[in-house]
A and B are shown apart, each in its own frame.
Chain A
Amino acid sequence: MQPTLRVNTFRQSLILSGLFVLGLLAVNLIVFKPGTMAVVTLSGLYQGMLFFLIAAGMSIVFGLLDVLNLAQGAFFMLGAYAGFAIYGALPAGTPIEARFIAALVGATLTGGLAGALMEIGLLRPLYARPVYQIVMTLGLSTALNEVVRAIYGPAGLVPIEEPPLLATTFTIAGGQFETYRVFIIAVGAALMVGISLLLQRTRLGIIIRAGVQDSEMVQALGINVRRIFTLVFALGTAVAALGGMTAAPFLGAYPGMGTDFLLVAIIVIVIGGMSSYEGTAIASLLVGLTRATAEQISLQYFNTPILASVSILLFMVAVLLIRPNGLFGRD
């Protein structure tokens, strides 16, 4: 006896995703020189990983708590600013590597702690009131943007210094690419695998997957679901803050930096199928690759990256026409 049904639909989703990847590669092959293609692919993965770091928590939280956390982008920004603060707070003479690692750890903890406080203090009274949640999370996002603007000024901060080991470029098939962006890809890939293992192999993962379907029954089994909600929400915001800090040496930090990513993350979650973790992971990379490809095409032919944002929306439309519930969404 072998389970078949779920495996088949899952396989169909994988095949469809693979077809999109092949399509993107084909466009790349036709339009670009090999060096450009390598850089576009890496750049797509880099962008995709940043989208993933924001969207992962949002998608799991949406599945488990039925809350679309529109403040997730603000936690991305918070991570970047926390990184700057930690860089500045460490005594002069601290080696750059130590600053960098301290900033990564500190930003992650800051994001997690702030997320836990938000869930307990602001979100908990608003469960079962979806409209209030939207207003609250969006309002919090705006408020955090303004707080940051008030403290650090409207101009934003120049990118923080990256460790010398990563502050290099390398040549691939004739194209130039920054080592640091490969580091971001590696961080994203490690978290992608790590979160997947958490969901599939741990008791917390079993509880999350069960809670997505029926959190009342999980509670009736003797599990304190409230505590799980807080933990999962905090993990999601911690990952987003880590993403912001990871991006800070490249993007710097500026008020509203999370909002740009938030919009893409929402599109990613819709393409992936709302609460499917696999869908979110794969859709992040597909959106990143689509965006990078469109960006390069429009630079090449129109001298401006005008197609980048539009391409993501077109991609979403294409996916939803084929799969109205998203790549890995359930009917």
Chain B
Amino acid sequence: MSALLEVQDIHTFIGQFHILEGVTVEVPANGITALLGRNGAGKTTTLRSIMGLNPPARGAVRFDGQALHGRKPFDIAQLGIGYVPDYRAIFRQLTVAENLQIAERRRGDLAARSAFIFEVFPDLEKLYQWPGGQLSGGQQQMLAIARALVPHNRLLLIDEPSEGLAPVIIEGMMAAIRRLTDQVGVLLVEQNFRVASQLADHYVVIEDGKSVHTGRMPDLLASPALIQKYLSAA
């Protein structure tokens, strides 16, 4: 079975800086793939390159067999990719309801999905008319993921979901992400190795803008030498 998302040897420049120097990632249609690596390795840029926000100069990105090269971010999103950036990007002036409505691609998307969303994130139902700017960090993270679930997405790119959250909130958020995997494939960037290792089925290690190692998460966990080699400072 071919992967839902195939990223092949992409090179991305931001201004004159060569940030990605050959990243290859495959994400299956179900399950979670984690991008691991130290700060500044290029994990966020990889997600932004897939979304077309920092389009790669070389290499190929294919989603469900279609090449994403030359497509605008809105066009890429419409193929069925949801993006949850590390800064969450909640619209502060919009209510929780409006933050979800804006993600509709067809009229009725939200109505069709709200039962599932409220089941996974019950807080959002209580906060439905609150301005997004007044939610706590954890609630904003929930809303950012929920927003990516409103349209019929088949792949979610989630950047640092546990960043800045209290441990008990992280547990809830992990349980929620785990629940999504029978519906979508997830490409997860996560600095917190404990979180990444408990969630992901596969992993890709990125070092200095290159993907250097990939495999199944249980194999990584069984090998202290690999963890030491790639993630010691993380």
Contacts and interface: CB of A to CB of B under 8 A. Distances in A.
Interface of A: 1, 3, 5-6, 203, 206-207, 209-210, 212-214, 216-226
Of the four ranges (under 10, 10 to 19, 20 to 34, 35 or more), the interface on chain B belongs to: 20 to 34
Given A3-B130, A6-B133, A222 B92 contact: no
Given A206-B94, A206-B98, A219 B74 contact: yes
A230 B93 CA distance: 23
19 contacts: A1-B126, A3-B129, A6-B134, A203-B102, A206-B94, A209-B98, A210-B98, A213-B93, A214-B91, A216-B73, A219-B72, A219-B73, A219-B74, A220-B83, A221-B74, A221-B77, A222-B74, A222-B78, A226-B72
Interface string B166-196: 0000000000000000000000000000000
B94 to A, nearest CB: 6
A1 B98 CA distance: 18
Contact of B131 (A1, A3, A220, A225): A3
A216 B74 contact: no
Nearest to B98: A206
A226 B73 CA distance: 11
Contacts of B134: 3, 5-6
B30 interface: no
Contacts, number: 74
Contact of B89 (A3, A212, A214): A214
A206 B74 contact: no
A209 B134 CA distance: 16
Contact of B53 (A6, A213, A220): A220
A224 B127 CA distance: 29
A210 B102 contact: yes
Given A1-B130, A6-B134, A216-B53, A221 B91 contact: no
B93 A221 contact: no
A209 B83 contact: no
B202 interface: no
Q: Which 8 A-B pairs have the closest CB atoms?
A: A222-B77, A217-B89, A210-B91, A222-B78, A220-B83, A219-B73, A219-B74, A224-B74
A214 to B, nearest CB: 5
A278 to B, nearest CB: 11
Nearest to A225: B74
Contact of B103 (A3, A213, A221, A225): A221
Given A1-B130, A3-B131, A3-B134, A220 B51 contact: yes
A221 B102 contact: yes
Nearest to B157: A220
A212 to B, nearest CB: 8
Chain B CB within 10 Å, residue with most, of A5, A213, A217, A224: A217
A226 B72 CA distance: 10
Given A218-B102, A221-B102, A213 B77 contact: no
B38 to A, nearest CB: 25
B28 interface: no
B151 A222 contact: yes
Contacts of A222: 74, 77-78, 103, 105, 151
B105 A209 contact: no
Interface in B12-39: none
Contacts of A223: 74, 102
A44 B134 CA distance: 38
Contacts of B91: 209-210, 213-214, 217
A223 B77 CA distance: 8
A214 B92 CA distance: 10
A5 B85 CA distance: 26
